[in-house]
Amino acid sequence: MERSIKSQDIWMRLLQVTDMIRELHHRENLVERPPLQTTIAEAKVMHCVVFSPNGCSVKEIADRLGITQGAASQIIDKMVRKGPLERVPDEKDRRSVRITLSKAGLERHRRITDSFEKLMNQLLEGVPPEKIRIFMEVLDHLIEAKEKIS
């Protein structure tokens, strides 16, 4: 790593960008009609579930998000009450349930995806494609390094 860039500078910048995206997402929640009414954590849960045709268990969601099953359960319970998620019996194990997106949840996920796509396009406007490709490579490297550490 270049000596003039300290690791502390990198992680502080990552935190700053994460907070900025959360703030902009919240602002978009207020502007959208009807409002998105979705937190970042809820969007992450929906993103886990949308790509699982048979739904996910609470444990699978917790593992994918790197949170406890208790924390995942709290988010899921809230989302079931609000409507975007449903609990359906597991076809393979009648004692278990799978978490799936409701029809309203599929629509909300689509709207959130569109909102984030618009936001990222605005944030990356004017950045040359080559720099975006390098940025993605660095992010991929961080993800791979985390897997090696874990």
Would residue 26 count as lying in a domain? no
Task: Supply the pLDDT for residue 3.
Answer: 58
Would residue 20 count as lying in a domain? no
Would residue 58 count as lying in a domain? yes
Structural domain range at position 52: 37-149
Total of domains in the chain = 1
Query: Model pTM?
Result: 0.76
With beta carbons less than 8 A apart as the criterion, state whether 101 and 111 touch: no
Q: Which two tokens stand for residue 51?
A: 């790509």
Task: Supply the pLDDT for residue 83.
Answer: 92
Would residue 128 count as lying in a domain? yes
Would residue 23 count as lying in a domain? no
Would residue 59 count as lying in a domain? yes
2: pLDDT strictly greater than 60: no
Would residue 54 count as lying in a domain? yes
State the CATH number of the domain containing residue 58.
1.10.10.10
Would residue 126 count as lying in a domain? yes
What is the pLDDT confidence band of residue 149, given thresholds at 50, 70 and 90?
Answer: confident
